[in-house]
Amino acid sequence: METLEEKKLTITRTFDAPRALVWDAWTEQKHIKEWWGPKRFTNPVCEWDAKKGGQINIHMKGPDGTIYPMDGIFIEIEKPEKIVFNGGALDGAGKRLFDQITSVSFMEEGKKTKVVIDLHFKNILPEAMVNIGGANEGWNMSLDKLETLLLKLK
């Protein structure tokens, strides 16, 4: 099976919230369920066990009702500084469309928190290029939703 070359993407966002609150929003399943995924997407299935070796299983539901499943495993948790997990989008048969390593760093900047997300995609199947092409926009929509949630939690 042919795969495409690797892709990398870095997204940086500063939130007007303390690092402990931003950390909780990234590590507590009840919060992930609220902000994960692009605008107008929901997460009817959201399993997020933020500990080393913990499982990730999310089914994002698009506005048209389409389900976009993903899975993964937490590789590293360094409270409150860093989260690393692998994962990837799944097709309808549960096969990975690509592999993704996501590293999220949390840095205090006064009363704000700078978050840097490094994404490394590999083993990309041709049918996954739409996912990879929309990663920057999708992640930024998710982070907009996270920002809204943080305002409610403050």
Give the pLDDT band of residue 5 (cuts 50, 70, 90).
Answer: confident
Task: Extract the runs of DSSP E, i.e. beta strands, from the chain.
Answer: 7-15, 42-48, 55-61, 67-78, 82-89, 99-109, 112-122
pLDDT at 154 over 90: no
- Of 51-65, 73-87, 100-114, 118-132, the one with minimum mean pLDDT is 118-132
Render the burial of 74-90: b for 16+ CB within 10 Å, e for the rest.
bbebeebeebbbebbbb
- Residue range 2-27: average pLDDT? 93
Q: What mean pLDDT comes out for the span 85-91?
A: 95
Q: Compute the CA torsion angle 42, 48, 50, 56 (nearest 10 deg).
A: -110
Residue 1, pLDDT > 60, answer no
> Which region, left, alpha or beta, applies to residue 31 given φ > 0 means left and ψ of -120 to 50 means alpha?
alpha
Q: What is the DSSP letter of 1?
A: -
Give the chain's length: 154
Q: Which of the four pLDDT bands, split at 50, 70 and 90, describes residue 3?
A: low
Considering only CA atoms, which of 25, 34, 26, 22 is closest in space to residue 111? 22
Give which of 123, 112, 121 is closest to 139, Cα–Cα.
Answer: 121
Phi, psi for residue 105 in degrees, rounded to 5? -110, 140
Q: Is 144 left (phi over 0), alpha (psi -120 to 50) or beta?
A: alpha
Q: What is the mean pLDDT of residues 100-115?
A: 98
How far is residue 100's CA from residue 75's CA, in Å, rounded to a whole number?
12
> Does residue 19 register a pLDDT over 80?
yes
Average pLDDT over residues 11-21: 98
Q: Can you give the pTM of this predicted structure?
A: 0.94
What is residue 145's predicted lDDT score, i.e. its pLDDT? 98
* CA atoms within a 13 Å half-sphere pointing along the CA-CB vector of 124: 17
